[in-house]
Structure 1
Amino acid sequence: MEKTILIICESGISASLLVSKILESLSEKELEYAIDYAPVSRIQEKLMFKNYDVLLLTPQVARYEEQIRGIVDQEKSTSKIVFMKPEDFQYMNVERMLSQL
């Protein structure tokens, strides 16, 4: 069964590289995930149209945790919220990120 992940970052730039690395790792493991990404300003828009299994937040958006949880509640989303560890994000350690899911 395919799982869905929404990676949330500050502006969307760093997430595109991260998505590529995650997809590469998932392909090697033959795991089925649908991955999307968005800047923090577009979370509500994304959740209005899709309920993701996991919201994977980059370290830069940790300061928006309360706002993000409010949006998740407002949209009645059942998404699990997972924060990336700063060192995993800095070194693009996708294996450790995926183990959190």
Structure 2
Amino acid sequence: MAENTIMLVCAAGMSTSLLVSKMEKAAAARGMEADIFAVSASEADSTIENKNPDVLLLGPQVRFMQSQFAKKVADRGIEVEVINMQDYGMMNGEKVLDFAIELMQKNK
């Protein structure tokens, strides 16, 4: 299976890093190859250029940026969605990974 690149964006990149490690564990348990990483909103633009993610997940604290990110990546077919607040709060890596996979499959 091709590598899946999942980018999480949050205000400072800190809280999301814990979620990233839980998502990586969930992916590894499934034998899924994935590049999952978190960046702060201020680093997001350059990271999109360098990494070309398959999906962009926004932390609930930056949900207001969804439309501006969606416009920036519209021509690339990258899905941009906000992580469910409950899954984010519970740091539910399984559920957030499922959500990312669902979004990536939309574009295949």
Shorter-chain TM range is 0.7 to 0.9
Are 2:10 and 1:9 equivalent residues in the alignment?
yes
TM-score with structure 1 setting the length: 0.88
Any stretches of 5+ residues in structure 1 without a counterpart? Answer: none
Aligned partner of 1:56: which letter? L
Equivalent residue, structure 2, for 1:62: 63
How many residues in Structure 1 have an aligned counterpart in Structure 2? 99
Equivalent pair of 1:51/1:78 in contact (CA under 8 Å): no
CA shift in 2, pair 1:44/1:56, >3 Å: same
What root-mean-square deviation, in Å, do the aligned CA atoms of Structure 1 and Structure 2 show?
A: 1.4
Q: Find the aligned partners of 1:23 and 1:84 in 2 and give their Cα distance.
A: 16
Q: Kindly indicate whether the alpha-carbon contact (under 8 Å) linking 1:5 and 1:55 is maintained by their aligned counterparts in 2.
A: yes
- Residue type matched to 1:93 in 2? N
- Does residue 47 (structure 1) correspond to residue 26 (structure 2)? The answer is no
Q: d(CA) in 1 for partners of 2:6 and 2:60? A: 16
Q: How does 1:68-87 map to 2 (within 5 A)?
A: 68-73=69-74, 76-87=75-86
How far 1:64 sits from its partner (Å)?
1.2
Distance 2:36 2:60 in 1: 18
Cα deviation, residue 89, structure 1: 0.2
Q: Distance in 2 between matches of 1:49 and 1:26?
A: 23
| Structure 2: distance between partners of 1:59 and 1:4 | 20
Other-structure match for 2:104: none
Instruction: Spell out, residue by residue over 1:47-88, the C-alpha distance to the aligned partner (whole angstroms, 9 max, x if none).
Output: 122211010111111011122223324xx4321112211000
- 1:97 aligns with 96
Q: Identity over the aligned pairs, expressed in percent?
A: 32
TM-score w.r.t. length of structure 2: 0.83
